């Protein structure tokens, strides 16, 4: 008798499974499939995971996250019209390629996913700035190059910031002060050079950007390069710009964009992406929490969803609120 029960329960399990799966399919019919480009840095992974959860549970979509990077994602959209949504798009790094897509109507800018935006610039560890307050300006750094270890840690080839930093190095004539420019091969070595210098309390000077895990983890101070000058900065963004002038980095706009087709076929979801913005400070503290708990991006998303229902309930429409009422009512 017991055996029979076991077999029958196994059978029910087998038959129940496809039924459950098709029920889910029925739900997904309304919204269909959405592909979102997931950039390979922490803030982007967290954002996309939050969006995935809310869209799947609230709107009944089937969301696939496509691992990508700024330029490949844009190119893919330009050539294939996929993925549907690109978020955490750094406008300064995407450059003309993206603007072209906006101009010819392939992509539509939905929102700034971070408010006010990302920070980028040249940094030193805060303990260095405390020890030698002069180092907080570029003139001070160039006067005492040995205090920062005689080295400027530059961006890898192929990054938007590399062009800007290369031009700035020429504009400042940085190498005449005895600082050698070290061109990193990848973002990983740039981050680990900063990490190992800071954990050993050694001097470090180089480019970095935020909000990122290293920026949340290490206490860094920005080196003032001068004032931000729109025209000068625009010039700095062209490779080998003639006669570059010094300008500090502006706050970087970080966008969510979608293809035009997507905005037409998915009005409700487009509305969601238009509303989904994070305060930069909130994202920084999320990333700090991630580092503290050694959590995965998915767990950070869960943490955000459980802790901040008031924030994300403002992003979603009424039917989604109903679907997620169990979470909201707590």
Partner 1 sequence: MATYDGLFNALGLRAWCDGGAEKAPMSMADLLAKTKGGGTTESLWNTPFPSLNALHDACKAIPQSRDLTQGLEAGFLDIRDILRVVVDPLTQPLSWALEDMLWVMTHTPWWIIMPVFFAITWLVTRSWKIVGLVAVIIGLLAFVDQYNEAMQTLAIIFVCAFVCVIIGVPIGIAMSRSDRLQRVVIPILDMLQTLPPFVYLIPLIFLFSVTEPKLYGIAIILYAIVPVVRLTDLGIRLVDRDVIEAADAFGMTSRQKLFGVQIPLALPNIMAGVNQTIMMSLAMVVIASLVSAPGLGVLVLRGIRNLELGVGLIAGFGIVVLAIALDRVTKAALARIDASQAQR
Q: Does 189 bind partner 1 (CB under 8 A)?
A: yes
Contacting partner 1 within 95-154 (CB under 8 A)? 151
- Pick one of 28, 71, 169, 181: the residue that binds partner 1 (CB under 8 A): 71
Tokens 């196994």: give the residue: 10
Euclidean distance between CA atoms 83 and 266, whole angstroms: 14
Number of residues that bind partner 1 (CB under 8 A): 42
- Pick one of 126, 183, 238, 317: the residue that binds partner 1 (CB under 8 A): 183
Contacting partner 1 within 195-234 (CB under 8 A)? 196
**287 alpha-carbon distance from chain centroid:** 11
Q: Decide if 175 contacts 204 (C-beta within 8 A).
A: no
Q: How far is the CB of 173 from partner 1 (least distance, A)?
A: 22
Q: Does 27 bind partner 1 (CB under 8 A)?
A: no
x-or-dash pattern for partner 1, window 289-308, by CB under 8 A? ----xxx--xxxxxx-xx--
Contacting partner 1 within 33-62 (CB under 8 A)? 53, 57
Q: Does 326 bind partner 1 (CB under 8 A)?
A: yes
Q: How many helices (H) and strands (E) does the chain have?
A: 17, 12
**247 alpha-carbon distance from chain centroid:** 24
Q: Does 12 bind partner 1 (CB under 8 A)?
A: yes
Euclidean distance between CA atoms 229 and 231, whole angstroms: 6
Q: 100 Cβ partners below 8 Å, 6+ apart?
A: 78
Q: Interior CA angle at 152 toward 149 and 154, to 5°?
A: 150
Binding interface with partner 1 (CB under 8 A): 9-10, 12-14, 16-17, 53, 57, 69, 71-72, 75, 151, 156-159, 182-186, 188-189, 192-193, 196, 293-295, 298-303, 305-306, 324, 326-327
């Amino acid at each position: 008798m017991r055996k029979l029960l076991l077999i029958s329960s196994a059978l029910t399990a087998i038959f129940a499974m496809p039924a459950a799966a098709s029920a889910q399919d029925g739900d997904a019919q309304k919204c269909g499939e959405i592909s979102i480009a997931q950039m390979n840095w922490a803030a982007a992974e967290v954002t996309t995971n939050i969006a995935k959860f809310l869209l799947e549970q609230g709107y009944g979509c089937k969301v696939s996250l496509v691992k990508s990077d700024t330029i490949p994602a844009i190119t893919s959209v330009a050539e294939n019209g996929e993925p549907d949504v690109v978020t955490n798009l750094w406008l300064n790094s995407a450059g003309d390629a993206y603007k072209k897509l906006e101009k010819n109507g392939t992509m539509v800018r939905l929102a700034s996913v971070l408010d006010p935006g990302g920070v980028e610039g040249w940094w030193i560890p805060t303990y260095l700035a405390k020890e030698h307050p002069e180092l907080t300006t570029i003139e001070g750094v160039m006067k005492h190059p040995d205090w920062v270890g005689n080295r400027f840690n530059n961006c890898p080839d192929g990054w938007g910031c590399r062009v800007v930093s290369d031009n700035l190095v020429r504009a400042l004539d940085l190498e005449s002060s005895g600082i050698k420019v070290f061109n990193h091969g990848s973002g990983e070595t740039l981050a680990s050079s900063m990490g190992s210098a800071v954990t050993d309390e050694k001097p470090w000077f180089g480019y970095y950007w935020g909000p990122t895990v290293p920026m949340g983890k290490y206490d860094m101070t920005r080196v003032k390069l001068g004032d931000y000058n729109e025209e000068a900065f625009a010039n700095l963004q062209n490779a080998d710009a003639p006669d570059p002038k010094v300008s500090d980095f502006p706050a970087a706009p970080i966008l969510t964009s979608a293809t035009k087709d997507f905005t037409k076929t998915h009005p409700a979801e487009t509305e969601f992406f238009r509303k989904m913005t994070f305060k930069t400070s909130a994202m920084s503290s999320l990333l700090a929490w991630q580092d503290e708990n050694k959590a995965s991006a998915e767990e950070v998303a869960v943490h955000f969803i459980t802790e901040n229902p008031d924030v994300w309930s403002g992003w979603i429409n009424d039917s989604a609120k109903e679907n997620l009422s169990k979470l909201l009512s707590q």
